[in-house]
Amino acid sequence: MSSRRLLLAANWKMNPPPASALQAAMGDHSANPYHPHSDIDVVVFPTFLDLHKTVAAGLVSGGQYGRPENAGAYSGDISMAMLKTAGCRYVLCGHSERRENHNESDADVAAQAVAGLEQKIHPIICIGETLEERDKGHAESVVKKQLNALPLESDITIAYEPVWAIGTGKTASAAQAQGMHAFIRSLLPKDRQEKTRILYGGSVKADNAEELLSQPDIDGALIGGASLRPEEFGEIVKAGEKITQK
């Protein structure tokens, strides 16, 4: 059991929050899987428009993106400073959907992470290879290149999300994921190797969460589709708690 606290992140993407997530936890916080828990960290990533609702409901909240500049002529964007003001404690940087749909480069992603850190928002930085890159045998070199652009000396979280596993129902096997996580950890600066959390993402579901989260180098999960289904997300949270209490 590592000393790293498990982190379960619900990435709701461009979807409204599940209604029950915004309800009060009726005294017992652990009864609502989206609310803060004592043994593990749970964070939700709503759309920018829903952030005020999740913050008001007492959920630990994050932005799905933040622009490094504080303010200015950037139509359609929102800054890290604004996320901070809105009550965000986390921010996603470089999700593969942002890298693909908004042409975010490794340097852009690194700049976001640095700006998040400056605002004291914890960055969860996504990396991962495409199927084509994996099939060509380039998975490790792609991940290494993405990783090397990042401020690895800082207090950040990495999310390894093989692009071919996102929203496809195809999950990396626990052994595949553990192998890549151990590789990523080996590339971190020595004094960060024990501290930096590395999350797995890509079709995490109630039925594979326990096995994935039990791997020694998997410190949590970034969950898309299943995080929109309260019952299923509750099962994943339970699996995380069970592992932590072992």
- What number of chain residues touch ligand PGA (CB under 6 A)? 13
Over the Cα atoms of the chain, what is R_g?
Answer: 17
Q: Does the active-site annotation cover 210?
A: no
Q: In Å, how far are 32, 38, 53, 121, 232 from 24, measured between CA atoms?
A: 8, 17, 12, 25, 19
For ligand PGA, the binding residues in 159-178 under the rule CB under 6 A are 161, 166-167
Across 19-54, b (16+ Cβ under 10 Å) vs e yields eebbeebeeebbebbbbebeebbbbbbbbbebbebb
Q: Which 3-32 residues touch ligand PGA, going by CB under 6 A?
A: 11
Residue of 201, 234, 167 whose CA lies nearest to 21 = 234
Q: How far is the CA of 141 from the CAs of 113, 146, 148, 216, in angstroms?
A: 21, 9, 10, 22
- Asked if 228 is part of the footprint of ligand PGA (rule: CB under 6 A), the reply reads no
For residue 65, which phi and psi values (nearest 5 degrees)?
Answer: -170, 155
Rule CB under 6 A: choose which of 62, 220, 224, 240 binds ligand PGA.
Answer: 224
From 104, 129, 133, 161, active-site residue: 161
Shortest distance (Å) from residue 221 CB to ligand PGA: 8
95 as an active site residue: the answer is yes
Closer CB to ligand PGA, residue 68 or residue 128? 128
One residue of 203, 208, 213, 235 binding ligand PGA per CB under 6 A: 203
- Binding ligand PGA (rule: CB under 6 A), the pick from 81, 225, 233, 239 is 225
Contact residues toward ligand PGA (CB under 6 A) are: 11, 161, 166-167, 201-204, 222-226
- What positions carry a catalytic annotation? 95, 161
